[in-house]
Amino acid sequence: MTDSKTDRPTDDAPQTETGNRLFGRRKGRPLRKRRTSLIEDLLPRLQIPTPASGGSLIPASLFATPTREVWLEIGFGMGHHLAWQARHNPDVGIIGAEPFLNGIAGLLGMVEDENLGNVRIQPDDARPLLDALPDASIGRAFVLFADPWPKKRHADRRFIGPENLPRLARVLKDGAELRLASDDMGLVRWMLEHTLKHPDFEWTARRPSDWRIRPDDWPATRYEEKAIAAGRKPVFMRFVRRPRR
């Protein structure tokens, strides 16, 4: 389902288990033996029960030990950023949503090797998960190097935009950070335009270094490494969810 030259999703739009159209790939190369056993044995233990909509999923209840906050990463790819955050923030529960099976297996491998107890996974589209979360229940959200969908007629497939910003605004706590990154300037402009227009978000950048330089508590993702290797300069954006009145 990806273009072998660009590693970008093709136009095929499979259905997710929750019946939504998903604009990306679910399967890539066949899973190797360890990855298959991670999907079959470890995933069921970490998988978020099929989210019911209506804000009824209490995120803190997903974790065996008390959590200071729950954070959410949407489209975690191979899971390196999510695993880093889990490793460096053991008192935070981290939920990742990603439908791509090889990526899920990659994250599961790190969870198993490092015994990370604070990770839970929605192995599917993030949108039903967002709808299942209560208002103001998430302390930080990451959407890093989302698929850019460069053709104009596909703009509505971009994750950050008019469809999903209200979902994120609803679940984020007052003052929570929303972190976005991309190496695609068309997508950067689009995300900025829509996020700045949204009344609940404020961009924290005051000077160019605030969006040109990745902060220390924000490790590189696989797509960022690829972008830099190809000579592209990523943009790192931090927004805060304005306090509710």
Ligand X SMILES: C[S@@+](CC[C@H](N)C(=O)[O-])C[C@H]1O[C@@H](n2cnc3c(N)ncnc32)[C@H](O)[C@@H]1O
One-letter amino acid at 91 equals D
The single residue of 147, 183, 184, 200 carrying the catalytic annotation is 147
Quick note: the x/- pattern for ligand X over 74-93, rule CB under 6 A, is: xxxx----------------
Please say which residue, 118 or 182, places its beta carbon nearer to ligand X: 182
Cα(168)–Cα(166) distance, rounded to whole angstroms?
5
On whether the CB atoms of residues 105 and 81 are closer than 8 A, the answer is: no
Q: Count of residues binding ligand X (CB under 6 A)?
A: 23
Please say which residue, 137 or 221, places its beta carbon nearer to ligand X: 221
On whether the CB atoms of residues 143 and 192 are closer than 8 A, the answer is: no
Query: Is residue 200 annotated as a catalytic residue, yes or no?
Result: no
On whether the CB atoms of residues 151 and 213 are closer than 8 A, the answer is: no
Distance in Å, CB of 238 to ligand X, minimum: 16
- The size of the chain, in residues, is 245
100 binds ligand X (CB under 6 A): yes
Please say which residue, 145 or 190, places its beta carbon nearer to ligand X: 145
Q: Minimal CA–CA distance to 144: which of 59, 73, 68, 47? A: 73
Cα(215)–Cα(231) distance, rounded to whole angstroms?
20
On whether the CB atoms of residues 15 and 22 are closer than 8 A, the answer is: yes
97 binds ligand X (CB under 6 A): yes
| Span from 54-62, 107-115, 123-131, 184-192 in contact with ligand X (CB under 6 A) | 123-131
Q: Among all residues, which ones are annotated catalytic?
A: 147
Binding region for ligand X (CB under 6 A): 22, 24, 74-77, 97-100, 103, 125-127, 144-147, 159, 221-224
